[in-house]
């Protein structure tokens, strides 16, 4: 918890809070191989997979979406097809309002276009489920729906917007740059801290503040994003990708990849090739 001063006082009488509203929401429990068109509504609709998996078409390529990931829809409808073995359940949250475009821009800038990859952060999916759960109650409270909705918006904002690193904090800047340049090698949190000449605990606090995750999770998430891109864009097998993102043990790589992506790397590779998702 952030340590506060003994006495604080904030005046919001002249402050304008963002105009962003819940336009609508829905929940779908798909049958195996069920196909469905997902229509945009309002400024944008967020299709969030709660459990299971499936594939999205209608973007520039076919994308696999798994538990706690999804897609943002702003223009044309997309088509979702549930997996035949692990069919998905999903929530669709639609937003409107003058300032909703700012959230859309943040997601597009940090994410892979319209594709939502929450990494290890489960809050957006949890909050999306909370919205439809609140709406389904017999004695629905609009305040409960609003609370869940703003939790969803805030979780998206924190997941996709990075806090600006102060120019004076060279440790965080150098740590992120080091990871991006050396993710394909054997690196550790302790090694990065030693390279910077700071305590490991201090480095971990910096990552929690500016990246909203631990140093180790940042390294893993970055490696898994690179691995997914290699499967999608390169003609590489699992062993080659494993080595290319810094793992020497293919079983360890496969276990981590499955936990983050929702399927084994071999299955992801085959699906990319089957659907022609490589450029």
pLDDT for res 187: 92
Question: What is the Cα 125 distance to its own chain's centre?
Answer: 9
CA distance 164 to 179: 18
Contact 129, 149 (CB under 8 A): no
CA-based nearest residue to 232, from 53, 62, 23: 62
Check: pTM over 0.85? Answer yes or no: no
pLDDT > 80? residue 114: no
pLDDT > 60? residue 279: no
pLDDT > 50? residue 212: yes
pLDDT tens for residues 216-242? 988 998 899 899 888 888 889 999 999
Angle, helix 170-182 to helix 215-233, in steps of 10 degrees: 40
CA distance 26 to 39: 11
CATH 2.60.120.280 residue ranges of the chain are 21-160
pLDDT tens for residues 43-77? 999 999 998 888 888 755 677 788 778 888 888 88
CA distance 38 to 20: 21
Class of domain 170-274: mainly alpha
CATH 1.10.10.60 residue ranges of the chain are 170-274
Question: What CATH number belongs to 21-160?
Answer: 2.60.120.280
């Amino acid at each position: 918890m952030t340590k506060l001063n003994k006495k604080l006082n904030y005046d919001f009488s002249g402050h304008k809070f963002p105009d962003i509203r819940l336009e609508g929401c829905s929940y779908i429990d798909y049958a195996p191989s069920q196909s469905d068109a997902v229509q945009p509504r309002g400024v944008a609709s967020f299709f969030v997979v709660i459990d299971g998996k499936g594939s999205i078409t209608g973007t520039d390529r076919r994308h696999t979406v798994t538990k706690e990931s999804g897609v943002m829809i702003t223009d044309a409808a997309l088509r979702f097809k549930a997996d035949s073995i692990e069919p998905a359940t999903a929530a669709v949250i639609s937003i409107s309002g003058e300032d909703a475009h700012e959230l859309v821009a943040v997601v597009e800038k940090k994410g892979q276009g319209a594709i939502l990859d929450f990494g290890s952060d489960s809050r957006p999916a949890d909050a999306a489920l909370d919205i439809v759960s609140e709406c389904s109650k017999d004695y629905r409270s609009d305040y409960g729906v609003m609370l869940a909705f703003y939790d969803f918006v805030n979780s998206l904002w924190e997941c996709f917007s990075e806090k600006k690193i102060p120019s004076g904090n060279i440790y965080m800047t150098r740590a992120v740059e080091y990871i991006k340049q050396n993710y394909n090698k054997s690196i550790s949190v302790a090694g990065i801290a030693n390279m910077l000449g700071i305590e490991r605990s201090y480095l971990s606090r910096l990552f929690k503040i500016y990246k909203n995750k631990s140093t180790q999770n940042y390294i893993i998430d970055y490696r898994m994003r690179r691995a997914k891109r290699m499967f999608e864009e390169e003609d590489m097998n699992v062993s080659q990708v494993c080595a290319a993102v810094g793992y020497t043990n293919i079983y360890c790589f496969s276990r981590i990849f499955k936990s983050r992506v929702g399927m084994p790397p071999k299955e992801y590779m085959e699906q990319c090739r089957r659907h022609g998702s490589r450029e």
